Chains A and B, each alone.
Chain A
């Protein structure tokens, strides 16, 4: 069977399974990823299938987990580690910034680190403090890392496999709120490479640019706009680094208007980078300044207030309304 309906969680689990089956050097480890199968069950069954040498629990220490992965990757393995939650990855920050990202460069290409840091990330699940951060900008700002954020189970499957096979370290951001959303997954199709965006919905009036957890919201906004007679195109970045300037700019040039949608706070963010890049490249095709709908510049709110922080359909459509339609 090549087409199946799978949740993103199942698709990620399938990708891990398939890579571990294909390559005996692929290891999966972290906190509670062994017999429990991870707090989100992404690693469910891997220890039973591949043994505890291939998928195992570690002491509860994120810097140790990432640092050990560096050593394993230096010595012939392809480690995949799970950080359990976005904000719990911060103890590993020095390892990620000073070693994971720089090892190839420090050693003039002699030491590669083929490793994947999986991070369940972002909000929308009613998570308590320190469980809902959108931390992509920290990683995207660091040369040497690839940063991937899928929104669809099929991409989650393909991109996790591509990330594990990549010769470079990948920070793989998994939108928690999409873990259990099901859709068709093609497990045989040629894998979309890391660094390619995709047009999720065609449209002619304006382009919504989104990634990870914000893509379904952008699609919903486009559906509502269509009923109101406005045709919105939706681009899903899929990868933040490398950034697919070509697809994004072609999309924006085709409509002449754009709104960037992201959950993360807007200041010094991936969304601000997108606006800068697109403006630099598409200035003469733009009929209006690019707008952003992002999280406010505040610490992520408690569960009962999080809906104020998350970009919603109304806020996106308000931004679209603001795209100076009086000047065609």
Chain B
């Protein structure tokens, strides 16, 4: 373990193992992940893209209030989940539906927040996925606490804490990284820098040489990685997880990616960025790139492709069916989970509502 700044500073260029045309970059010092890991990632990327598109369509159909899509960022989503063991934790934001689903959380549970039946629709302990947070960076100190509890018990748990470029401006980002470094908590802070916080470009968030450079100020390594290259992401995040699990402390990883769609369907991205800019990123699509790499090596047959597309379609169908199923939320639930048992005042208020409903029916 060293606090030598040279050791902590990110490289000048993001780590990239497969270029935009699907050719290996031959980057020295970072091993290409094994073929089966890449194939697994490919399947998850295809499923993730389909889920993004399905959720977006569900908004248009009025079934979801809103959907912050990770279209274009699926490589980050998939890699963040794929490098974790079962006992590890994932802390997603509102844009990380695909990461949570890749980790195995029921997509309908994840989208419940946006469907409006409840705030968080899944059991965080089932897959060790924290509830998605909509305030920015506030989940990062929680990630440190979960990791520190594991350390105190001598468990090998690692926590993957996600945030965006905008989130790095928040005070909780600073406090979480500082705490994690001081306590050597096994946390990987993974920033998906997609260039925009709704409409505000990166230049208005930070004047740092890169967001990964922020790591050195806390005494943790910062690494930059191509966020549309799932091979590089698996390698970089995998090594950060291994390092944390070995007791060598937290790490900051910044992925360079791009939000291909607007912030949500309620946003008009045309007001703050050009079509040319978006088109340039289309050429760097994470799925096209991996597909070319795998096909060129004979690792992806047309029957594989069909099977993955079919599995993605099934995921979309399950999601669609679940979201289209109307459930009538029970108003008694409003009072049930404020405290372990309702206060006398809440019992009175619950009775009041029950009486109101009884008189209506």
Contacts and interface: CB of A to CB of B under 8 A. Distances in A.
Interface in B338-359: 338-340, 343-345
Contacts of B338: 104-105, 143-144
B153 A76 contact: yes
Contacts of B118: 108
Nearest to A99: B138
Contacts of B281: none
Interface stretch (A119-127, A219-227, A238-246, A289-297): A238-246
Contacts of A67: 138, 140-142, 144-145, 172, 175-176
Nearest to B172: A63
Contacts of B59: none
A110 B125 contact: yes
Interface string A33-74: 000000000000000000001000011010110111111111
A58 B179 contact: yes
B269 interface: no
B343 A74 contact: no
Contacts of B142: 67-68, 70-71, 74, 99
A167 interface: yes
B146 A71 contact: yes
B31 interface: no
B303 to A, nearest CB: 41
Given A104-B339, A105-B338, A106-B131, A71 B344 contact: no
B131 A61 contact: no
A112 interface: yes
Contacts of B337: 104-105, 107-109
Nearest to B339: A168
A99 B143 CA distance: 13
A112 B339 CA distance: 9
A195 B175 CA distance: 34
Contacts of A95: 138, 141, 172
B138 A98 contact: yes
A198 interface: no
Nearest to B125: A110
Contact of B152 (A53, A103, A246): A53
B179 A68 contact: yes
Interface string A71-84: 11111110100000
B344 A242 contact: yes
B179 A69 contact: no
Contacts of A99: 138, 142
Contacts of B135: 94, 98
User: Which among A72, A75, A106, A243 has the highest number of chain B CB atoms within 10 Å?
Assistant: A75
Interface in B2-33: none
Contacts of B343: 195, 241-243
B141 A71 contact: yes
A112 B146 contact: no
Contacts of B176: 64, 67
A111 interface: yes
A144 B337 CA distance: 9
Nearest to B153: A76
Contacts of A58: 179, 182
B156 interface: no
Interface residues of B, number: 40
Given A72-B149, A74-B146, A64 B179 contact: yes
Nearest to B178: A59
User: Which among B141, B143, B146, B153 has the highest number of chain A CB atoms within 10 Å?
Assistant: B141
B149 A109 contact: no
Contacts of A246: 344
Contacts of B124: 74, 107, 110-111
B344 A59 contact: no
Contact of A59 (B143, B148, B175): B175
A72 B125 CA distance: 14
A71 B145 contact: yes
Contact of A68 (B148, B174, B340): B148
A91 interface: yes
Interface string B169-207: 001101110110010000000000000000000000000
Nearest to A246: B344
Interface in A95-151: 95, 98-99, 102-112, 143-144, 146
A72 to B, nearest CB: 4
B333 interface: yes
B149 A63 contact: no
B149 A76 contact: yes
B317 interface: no
Contacts of B150: 75
B189 to A, nearest CB: 14
A159 B143 CA distance: 30
Given A53-B152, A64-B176, A195-B343, A71 B144 contact: yes
6 contacts: A67-B138, A70-B141, A74-B142, A106-B131, A110-B125, A166-B340
Given A61-B178, A108-B120, 15 more contacts: A53-B152, A58-B179, A59-B179, A64-B176, A67-B140, A67-B142, A68-B145, A70-B142, A71-B143, A72-B149, A73-B145, A74-B146, A75-B149, A94-B172, A95-B138
